[in-house]
Structure 1
Amino acid sequence: MVKLTKIYTRTGDAGHTALGDGSRVAKTDLRVNAYGTVDELNALLGICRLHAGGDLDAALMRIQNDLFDVGADLCTPEQEDPPFEPLRVTEPQVEWLEAEIDRINAGLETLRSFVLPAGSPAAAHLHHARTVARRAERDSAALATAAPINETVLRYLNRLSDYLFVLAREANREARGDVLWQPGEHRGP
């Protein structure tokens, strides 16, 4: 269980931070960047929840909790014999996202154009969250080129961006409909 009695420690004042295994790295480290972007995504989902109710709010709360798991996973480097069992993202978390994507997408109209990130307030914020999820995935992939990571994290973030896309489409279906891209519409007379 986490117990926070003091919020500031001054240990990061020189530009370094502690990882989940106790080692210290620069705050510009790829690992810190990856879990920092996951944290940003989690905060953005909190904004999405302001426009959500019922099942959508519950689903986003579940994702927020899972994103803490993702952050903890990324924060703790892979080790052969760790002194404690690190928290790792698991395949059932990815499978839940896939099942939800399939369930929601089954009720949506087939797309005949790309969707602009717009529409209802909920959809617009979910589209924004989708783009941050893609950045979290890219940052985690960059980390994976420099250090071993749990590959399930990459699958989770990839599915999460897809999930946020179908959630945005669902939010627009319930409001005013998707805003579709009109290719070349403003190229000239």
Structure 2
Amino acid sequence: MDYSKKESNKDHYINLGKIYTKRGDTGETSLLNGQSVKKSSIQVEAYGIIDEANAVMGFAKSLVEDEEIKTILTHVQEKFILVGAYLSAGADYDTCVKEKITKQDVEYLEKHIDEYNKRLLPLYKFVIPGDETSSASLHIARTVVRRAERAIVKLSESIKFPAEILKYINRTSDLLFVLSRIEDDNRTINYIKSRLSEALRVGGTDKKIYSFQNLTLENAKRIVAAGELKAKELKKDFVFTVVNAEGNLILQEKMDNAILISVEVSRKKAYTSASLRAATADMAEMIKPGRSLYTLQNDPKYVMFGGGIPLFKNEILVGAIGVSGGYVEEDLAVARECEREFKKILEGK
């Protein structure tokens, strides 16, 4: 990017009167203060990486859906043009650059970092980018900004810049990290909302989410009875919960020696399977840090380990079974037996 100065009523640092100037054909370029330097210089490298970071933030912005985040990114991009001007002006920044990076600019970033960080769950391991395209692009922007920071530190060994420049770059990388996690959470929340609305909606045109009346109390008793036979094979006592498509209780039975906490856990497993229309065992991977359902791990309404299975008839959700009382594998084995019995009911056996 050419940071040559243009005089007008506003402060501009880009002259687009002509796209090519041929000044760079010999490997040199002109700085904002008029000095000619090699393109291999650390000064050109520094503001070149700032330009690159600006472009990557623009790419990330095109993928983000949250309008507030888009606005913040645009604000930072505008400031990065100013940072590039600082770096291009070098020691003459005070006379060449009219607008300044101020303490208030740094505080603007810190304010948003603090506000967004309050919404996030604690991190227990390193984030591995890639589950969401928008958040991954923000991580790319973050690493480019970090590279710019290293170049500016190197440049600062020979040219002194206001402390706010380096602070602003440092806080930007922190902000991009927080925004990437927020973007992951936003996508997760939207996904969950859509799944819940599908599961709980009554009416509309999607017949696959209608409640189906054939899952009667008698059917629920038969399903549980099959599970109890499997439990006796395992020589353990379990709690069984059967709910309808809306997650409402049809039947709950506790075998004599099942532990009390299993009553609540089995109910939550059934509700989770009905709500998300998926087996709780399948959700276990999705609640790990960085995955799409991570934010559900601390939601008390849901249980994300084996023992909950949705029940479908012709792809229509009719209810769910939740089993608790043993190890995860045992809960799942008993729940699968209940599911097999349900399929026998559908087959008229």
**What is the TM-score when the length of structure 2 is the normalising length?**
0.49
Q: Between Structure 1 and Structure 2, whose CA radius of gyration is higher? A: 2
Alignment of 1:179 with 2:191, yes or no, is no
Contact 1:73 1:150 (C-alpha < 8 Å) held by counterparts: no
Contact 1:32 1:75 (C-alpha < 8 Å) held by counterparts: yes
What does residue 76 of structure 2 align with? 63
Aligned pairs for 1:1-189 within 5 A:
1=8, 2=12, 3-53=15-65, 54-79=67-92, 82=95, 84-176=96-188, 178-179=289-290
Please identify which structure carries the higher strand content: 2
Contact 2:86 2:97 (C-alpha < 8 Å) held by counterparts: no
Following superposition, the deviation at residue 85 of structure 1 comes to 4.9
The whole-number CA distance in structure 2 between the counterparts of 1:6 and 1:130 is 32
Following superposition, the deviation at residue 119 of structure 1 comes to 2.1
The whole-number CA distance in structure 2 between the counterparts of 1:57 and 1:96 is 15
Give aligned pairs, total: 179
The whole-number CA distance in structure 2 between the counterparts of 1:163 and 1:80 is 26
Q: Which has the higher contact order (CA 8 A, sep 6+)?
A: 1
Contact 2:134 2:183 (C-alpha < 8 Å) held by counterparts: yes
- Sequence identity of aligned pairs in percent? 37
**Match for 1:66: what amino acid?**
K
Following superposition, the deviation at residue 149 of structure 1 comes to 2.0
> Considering only aligned residues, what root-mean-square deviation do their CA atoms show, in Å?
1.8
Contact 1:76 1:86 (C-alpha < 8 Å) held by counterparts: no
User: Any idea what SS the aligned residue of 1:175 has?
Assistant: helix
What does residue 185 of structure 1 align with? none
**Match for 2:84: what amino acid?**
G
**What is the TM-score when the length of structure 1 is the normalising length?**
0.88
Following superposition, the deviation at residue 61 of structure 1 comes to 0.9
What does residue 307 of structure 2 align with? none
User: Any idea what SS the aligned residue of 1:28 has?
Assistant: coil
**Match for 1:110: what amino acid?**
P
**Match for 2:83: what amino acid?**
V
Gaps of at least 5 residues in structure 1 are: 181-189
Change (3 A) 1:85 1:134: closer
The whole-number CA distance in structure 1 between the counterparts of 2:134 and 2:94 is 44
**Match for 1:25: what amino acid?**
V
The whole-number CA distance in structure 2 between the counterparts of 1:101 and 1:80 is 28
The whole-number CA distance in structure 2 between the counterparts of 1:157 and 1:85 is 18
Residues 75-115 of structure 1 deviation map (CA, whole Å, 9 limit, x = unaligned):
11124984x55443222111100000000001111112221
**Match for 1:61: what amino acid?**
T
